[in-house]
Structure 1
Amino acid sequence: MSHTSKSFDQDLSASTDLFLEMGMLASNQVAQAMQALLESDMLLARQVVEKDSAINQLEVQIDEHILLLVAKRQPAARDLRYVMAVSKGVVDIERIGDEAVKIAHMAQQIAKVNSHTYCYHEVQHLSNQVRVMLSNALRSFEYLQADSAFEVMRSDNEVDFEYQSAIRALMTYVMADASQISQVINLMWVLRALERIGDHARNIAELVIYISSGTDVRHSDFATVQQAVADAGKADNDKDSAANNC
């Protein structure tokens, strides 16, 4: 985003950089937690838990940036929406970090019993989908791409479907081999954590559309979201036309 005030631009850019840094850290935490689970790596799982404090510290740092920015600059219109979106988005990212910690804890529990990769296919498949969804959400925020954010929102339905399918598959494993019930329950908690990460990624995507269009699309149907994305595209085109006519 570009503004008439260079100092405001710098302040906002600093907050955005911290936001994206926090997002990448949380994304890496999810990836490492899943690696710890799949490889029964208790050391890596412990490192994921220990690194959660870094995400929490970034949340505090970003909150301080936002508070000072609002106090000094008193942003309005789209600038204010952007600042509010960063403030809300850090909450989702912090919770993604929390879900990564939950996965790491489950990885430790499973590794204590054995290193058998029973039922892992369903978990790994959902993990891959969710991590792509999170990566796309962060990228759409970085470049303020409302259309890409809309695709992230649509993909959340696929994640929800896969989550339910994975739960059913795990229940089938339990019925076939009741001795695995403890491990399956732990994996169900992992699936739940992954599904929630997908929800937080969707929330970040909704914030992108809010910034771009001015429409709060939370709890909205896809027709409403699609119209907001179209409005965002029209606003960007009008801005480009005005710039070219100057």
Structure 2
Amino acid sequence: MIGEHSSKQYDHDLEAIRSKVLLMGGIVETQFTDAMTCFRVGNVEAAERVIAEDDAVNQLEVSLDDACSHLIVRRQPTANDLRTVMATIKVITDLERIGDEAAKIARMSKSLHSRGMVTVNHFETVRTIAGETSDMLHDALDAFARLDGKQALALIARDAIIDREFGFIMRNLITFMMEDPRTISAALDTLWVAKAIERIGDHAKNIAEYVIYVVEGKDIRHTRPSAPAVQ
């Protein structure tokens, strides 16, 4: 009876942590969406709100890391339970870094706006990669919520698409800067935004890898897993 009670309490504690992690995921997902809106329309006030939200994300990271540490000490999980906690800690770190990248995009938006740049053209430069990354982040959080290994494996391959898109953007912006030096300042800001988006894609891929680690017990980081065949 003591063991059963302990197991139920562990499950309850872990689920409470997972719920807060998903809350954190929702916040950073909104941060990213709002940051891209700021980049498109040049809304300084909205950009400042996105930047301010990063403090809340940082506080969530600290409190969740502490909760995970206490869970390990109190419940001493083993095997799959321990993998779940360790993977959750890593997911928390990636979510915090996504929040950092969203805040960076908001700061670049303020920079462009303060110099009187027309941001809509710059937004079109990154619109495709932003949409793909937003979808990837959403699906990574969904896979984590449902511990869906198949969904996680499928979305990992999408990171290569985002990487290729970033390379295309970088080459185009370099060409613009070479042809017209007056575009250098705005083009560099746009390039930093594109790089921040690409990094968010990397963090989303990391979350998917942690899901696979929990579900299958395999650490596939730095490997090239094959995506499931299309039916």
Please give the residue correspondences for 1:61-210 in structure 2 after superposition, counting only pairs within 5 Å.
61-116=63-118, 117-210=120-213
Q: How high is the sequence identity, in percent, across the aligned residues? A: 38
SS of the residue corresponding to residue 28 of structure 1 reads: helix
Q: For each residue in 1:116-135, what CA deviation from the matched residue of structure 2 results, as whole angstroms up to 9, or x when unmatched?
A: 12332121211111111100
Q: For each residue in 1:124-156, what CA deviation from the matched residue of structure 2 results, as whole angstroms up to 9, or x when unmatched?
A: 211111111100000000001111101121000
SS of the residue corresponding to residue 121 of structure 2 reads: coil
Equivalent pairs counted in the alignment come to: 223
| Cα distance in 1 for residues equivalent to 2:31 and 2:167 | 24
Q: Please point out which of 41, 44, 49 is paired with 1:42.
A: 44
| Cα distance in 1 for residues equivalent to 2:200 and 2:15 | 26
Structure 1: gaps of 5 or more residues:
227-246
Q: Which runs of 4+ in 1 moved over 2 A?
A: 117-120, 171-178
Please give the residue correspondences for 1:22-33 in structure 2 after superposition, counting only pairs within 5 Å.
22-33=24-35
Q: CA deviation at 1:115?
A: 4.4
SS of the residue corresponding to residue 222 of structure 2 reads: coil
Using the size of structure 2 for normalisation, the TM-score is 0.92
Counterpart AA for 1:158:
I
Does 2:189 match 1:221? Answer: no
SS of the residue corresponding to residue 220 of structure 1 reads: coil
Counterpart AA for 2:190:
L
Counterpart AA for 1:207:
Y
Q: CA deviation at 1:64?
A: 1.5
| Cα distance in 2 for residues equivalent to 1:119 and 1:21 | 31
Q: Which residue of 2 aligns with 1:56?
A: 58
C-alpha RMSD over aligned residues: 1.5
Q: CA deviation at 1:177?
A: 3.0
